[in-house]
Structure 1
């Protein structure tokens, strides 16, 4: 079977490692993923912090909002202990540390950076992220995504060539409007929504999340979607090989 669908590791190998840590990203690369998905926030001292939630409570031994802590405070937190004692002492990475890891691995796949501006605005983060990537050379394909349409509009104004995608659970009408206005290239919808609306968009523009079950992986692979975003990249890579007959 012809399957070109890329496998993007959601917060790294989230299902098997502490999410959004260098350990998790390295595991995903070792598993043969085609892409890495992660999330970026601003700390109190305007450093790029890699974490999904706006607070540190769920994934670390600390508590409180990211933007109320400076980088030094965040680095003292343990980002592995809540996942497993095995990963005790794992630190919260910065965007620069993740990019350095990808460069060290000569990673040529997709780097999907979600701007977490749908709950906390982080004024200026779009410009700051653009300036950071404009100042370095990197081997991967950079894709920006966000639930916040305004952040995507700001990115478009800063750099019309930037590759942008709209995340959504159910707000498909807004996503279609953004696509029509050429503010985004692709859609990153919830897989549950995709299965309820199979004719929403061309599969070449779909990268659904979070595709974890074998059934959902097969659904996407059979339709040859652009990519899946999954917590289990190793499992997805193996299934894709089996379906391809590799």
Structure 2
């Protein structure tokens, strides 16, 4: 069976490692994924912080908003012990540290960077990210995504060549408007929503999330979607190989 669907690791191998940490990203790469998805915020001193939530409470031993802490303060936090004792002492990475890991691994797949600006809009983060990537050489495919359409519009204005995707749960109408305006290229819909709206868009423009159940993985592979975003990249790689007859 021909399956070109790329497997994108959601916050790394989130199902088996503490999310959005270097150990999680390394595990996903070792499992053979073709993509890494992660989230970026601004710290108090405008450093790029890799974390999903606006606060540090859920994933570390700290409390409070990312935007109210300096990088030095965030680096004191433990991002692993809540997952298990095995990962106690794991630190919150910066965007630069994640990129360095990808380059060290000669990673040439998709790097999906989600701008977490839908609840707190960090002024200037879009230009800062653009200037950072403009200043380095990298071999991976950079894709920006966000629940905040305004952030994607700002990025598109700064860099019309940027590849962008609109993440959504139910805001399909806004996503299609952005597509028609050529602000975005692809859609990252909730898999539950997508299965209720199977004719929303051509498979080649779809990378649904969060594809963790075996039946959802099979559904996406059978339709040969552009990619899936999953907490279990190792499991997805194995299932895809089986369906390909490898």
Tell me the TM-score normalized by structure 2. 1.00
The root-mean-square deviation of aligned C-alpha atoms, in Å, is: 0.2
CA displacement, residues 163-215 of structure 1 (integer Å, 9 cap, x when unaligned): 00000000000000000010000000000000000000000000000000000
Match of 1:145, SS?
strand
* Cross-structure match for 1:224: 224
What is the SS of the residue equivalent to 2:7? strand
Quote the residue 1:15 is aligned against: 15
Cα offset, 1:93, TM superposition? 0.1
**4+ long deviations beyond 6 Å:** none
User: What is residue 39 of structure 1 aligned with on the other side?
Assistant: 39
Residue 59 of structure 1, CA deviation = 0.2
Residue 189 of structure 1 is matched in structure 2 by 189
Deviations 1:73-129 (A, max 9, x none): 000000000000000000000000000000000000000000000000000000000
Q: Distance in 1 between matches of 2:71 and 2:154?
A: 26
2:114 alignment counterpart: 114
- Give the distance between the partners of 2:203 and 2:171, measured in 1 at CA: 18
Residue 26 of structure 2 corresponds to which residue in structure 1? Answer: 26
CA distance in 1, matches of 2:173, 2:46: 33
Other structure's SS at 1:67 match: helix
Partner in structure 2 of residue 214 of structure 1: 214
Q: State the SS of the aligned residue for 1:27.
A: helix
Q: Which runs of 5+ in 2 are unaligned?
A: none
Which whole-Å CA distance do the structure 2 matches of 1:128 and 1:50 have between them? 15
Alpha-carbon distance in structure 2 between the residues aligned to 1:4 and 1:139: 20
Shift of 1:139: 1.1
Other-structure match for 2:200: 200
In structure 2, the residue matched to 1:62 is 62
Give the distance between the partners of 2:16 and 2:222, measured in 1 at CA. Answer: 25
CA distance in 1, matches of 2:174, 2:180: 10
Equivalent in the alignment of 1:83: 83
Q: What residue in structure 1 maps to residue 242 of structure 2? A: 242
Tell me, yes or no, if structure 1 residue 136 matches structure 2 residue 152: no
Which digits, 9 at most, give the CA deviation of each residue in 1:24-64, with x for residues without a partner?
00000000000000000000000000000000000000000
**Distance in 2 of aligned mates of 1:219 and 1:35:** 19
Q: Distance in 1 between matches of 2:178 and 2:82?
A: 38
Aligned-partner SS, 1:108: coil
- Secondary structure of 2:193's aligned partner: helix
Q: Which runs of 5+ in 1 are unaligned?
A: none
Residues paired across the two proteins, number: 246
1:81 alignment partner, SS class = coil
CA separation in 1, counterparts of 2:206 and 2:139?
23
Q: Which residue of 2 aligns with 1:96?
A: 96
Please report how far the alpha carbon of residue 154 of structure 1 lies from its aligned counterpart in structure 2 after TM superposition.
0.1
